[in-house]
A and B are shown apart, each in its own frame.
Chain A
Amino acid sequence: MFADYSWSELGSIFAMQGFAGLILFSVFVLMALGLAIIFGQMGVINMAHGEFMILGAYVTYLCSHFVQNYAPALFPVYFFVAMVLAFLASGALGALVEWALIRHLYKRPLDTLLATWGLSLILQQAYRSIFGAREVGVELPQWLLGSFQLTDLIEIPINGLFVMALTLLIAVGVYFLMFRSRLGMQTRAVVQNRVMAGAVGINTERVDRATFAIGCGIAGVAGSAFTMIGSTGPTAGQLYIVDTFLIVVFGGAASLLGTIASAFTISQAQSTMEFFLSGSMAKVLTLLTVVGILMLRPEGLFSLKIRR
């Protein structure tokens, strides 16, 4: 399959596909980080995670419309406001869902899976009723359009670069939140030993709610970033949920670093193969490899050494 291309062409193909892979990687990381917090730290399966992401995307879409119509002067920077709003909206919905649904089910993880699947169906239909079944897109400000011409064959789109920078920023933020902040410390304490954490004065219920809300909020930001590279439809979230869960499991559920590493591996493998094979076969091969590796090494790439 390589015989038809010259060496320089192959190099460019790998560079371009690698870059496309990096954008896919960014989306995966943004979605998977939220999921890794919720699933990896709390052990809750949130099948509605994709719908929280889409909520962020719709919030961004509404923001772009609002700014375009009422405050066109702010248009170049509306995106930053939209991102904050997306975080707040998804986070608030997350807190509500935790209060109404998840907290009753911490002892029954398989049942959370069913309940959140139901939630995802309801949210999907709600999006369809409110925004219509057609996909919507946002208009990007001028400074995000266009691309750098690196060589004759390699072209780097600016919005892709922006999304990647954003991902990096959020990943660093999550790191600080989980490992350097008080809330992160409390979350990790509750995960390791709930009763003990409660005994030293941590309000475990509040920590649970905050953790779940932050995980959902990050999904909202992911959706916000997602609007820059693709259009949003009511069912777009469901397309990514299986990949995201596989990424989190593949990376080792409790490890944030593992999540990033596995998102990188999977996205690069998929986008590089996509050039040579058809899109669907690339995806099948990637997922099959991941499932195969998981069957051989169920604990994932990076695993915590703990006694069970």
Chain B
Amino acid sequence: MTQGKSFLTRQELLGLAVVSLLILVVLPMSVDIFRLNLVGKYLTYAFVAIGLVLCWGMGGILSLGQGVFFGLGGYCMAMFLKLEASTPENTAIQSTPGIPDFMDWNQITALPWFWEPFRSFPFTLVAIVAVPVIFAFIIGAAMFKRRVGGVYFAIITQAIAAILTILIIGQQGYTGGVNGITDLRTMNGWDIRTDDAKYILYFVNAGLLIAVILAAQGVRKSKLGRLLVALRDKEDRVRFSGYDVANFKIFAFCLAAAFSAIGGAMFTLQVGFMSPTLVGIVPSIEMVIYTAVGGRLSIFGAVYGTLLVNWAKTTFSETFPELWLFGLGALFIAVVLVFPNGLAGLYRSYLQPFVDRLIGVKKADEEDETPIDAMPEAAARPAE
């Protein structure tokens, strides 16, 4: 524990270097722009996965509604881009020029009030983070102050994801309905559809991801991080020590929401649309599996888990679309039953001894994380 207080241990510095090298140098040099754009899209999910490491892995709060925050961030960005694309000149053939095309198709003649502020770029940038965080704060405050947690929290966040999806699809005139907000063109006059723009956006995204990794690492090394782990393991003991448990949980949940929202906004920029298919129950729970595959306690693992699952998804669903769902289902089961510590756990037990010897770290410097037992036969039953 001598190095526990320093911001990055030697192993973590190595981990950061490898992740940065992979997403900043290796991937951009080895794949073409189409594939790189795809990688960029996957990396936006990694923002969500890192948020879940803090919230679920460390804090024990499983949110099945992270797609909501991803979606809110993405929609804020999409609304700004859509308004910029819907100038009166571009939309002259509509019966009401100057409003987004899907509103015109739905017989709406004036821009709704909540779209109006999204004409301003600074407001949009603030809203991308602020809207999901405020939303997360309301949910978190209502639930955690009343000591709702665990399973109930998971079910209710899932219901919220379902509600938001139904709402977006139902209110077609205001939200673009099931197709989402499409046909986005420029940001402040800069065309986001060209290959050059895609390169730049990829690197902006990668930079933001590394910043988020560092922020998450900061939280994890802080007292807050320690408290999160403590309240995951013995909530009452933390409460009796005089801490207000709810506030820590709310903070972790809001931070995870903010990370997801940044990912969502970058998704919109790189992929060029936002739709309710990224908000609902299915994507939200898939985002949890990215974290689980990476190892729910590992920030770097979350990035690798996201890349690996999405790479597998793209490869398998291109060649054997039938098999993919079987594979994904089996992955869910395997990661829970056989590899509860995910890629990070595999790394720790097989690769790390060699790496440690290579960079000259002694055993004593290791993280004091307790891995989760895969199948503790003796302890499989509740003890009380």
Which residues of A does B touch, CB under 8 Å? 43, 45, 101, 103-115, 117-122, 124-126, 128-129, 193-195, 204, 238, 242, 245-246, 249, 278, 280-281, 283-284, 287-288, 290-291, 294-296, 298
Contact = CB atoms under 8 A, between A and B. Distances in A.
29 contacts: A43-B151, A45-B154, A101-B337, A106-B381, A107-B380, A108-B372, A114-B292, A114-B332, A115-B333, A118-B329, A118-B333, A119-B333, A124-B325, A125-B329, A126-B326, A128-B325, A195-B384, A242-B162, A242-B281, A278-B170, A280-B167, A280-B169, A283-B166, A284-B167, A287-B159, A290-B159, A295-B139, A295-B142, A295-B146
Interface string B22-63: 000000000000000000000000000000000010001010
A290 B163 CA distance: 11
Interface in B115-159: 139, 142-143, 146-148, 150-152, 154-156, 158-159
Interface on chain A toward B: helix, strand, loop, or mixed SS? helix
A104 B381 CA distance: 8
Contacts of A113: 62, 64, 151, 154
Contacts of B333: 101, 115, 118-119, 122
B335 interface: yes
Nearest to B143: A295
Given A105-B336, A245-B158, A291-B160, 8 more contacts: A104-B380, A110-B56, A112-B336, A115-B337, A118-B333, A284-B166, A294-B156, A298-B146
Nearest to B141: A295
B170 A284 contact: yes
A242 B159 contact: yes
Contacts of A118: 328-333, 336
A128 B331 CA distance: 19
Main secondary structure on B side of the interface with A: helix
Most chain B CB inside 10 Å of its own CB: which residue of A112, A113, A119, A283: A113
A277 B147 CA distance: 35
A205 B376 CA distance: 16
What 7 pairs across the A-B complex have the smallest Cβ distances?
A118-B332, A280-B170, A122-B329, A121-B329, A125-B325, A295-B142, A118-B329
Contact of B163 (A120, A129, A291): A291
Contacts of B383: 195
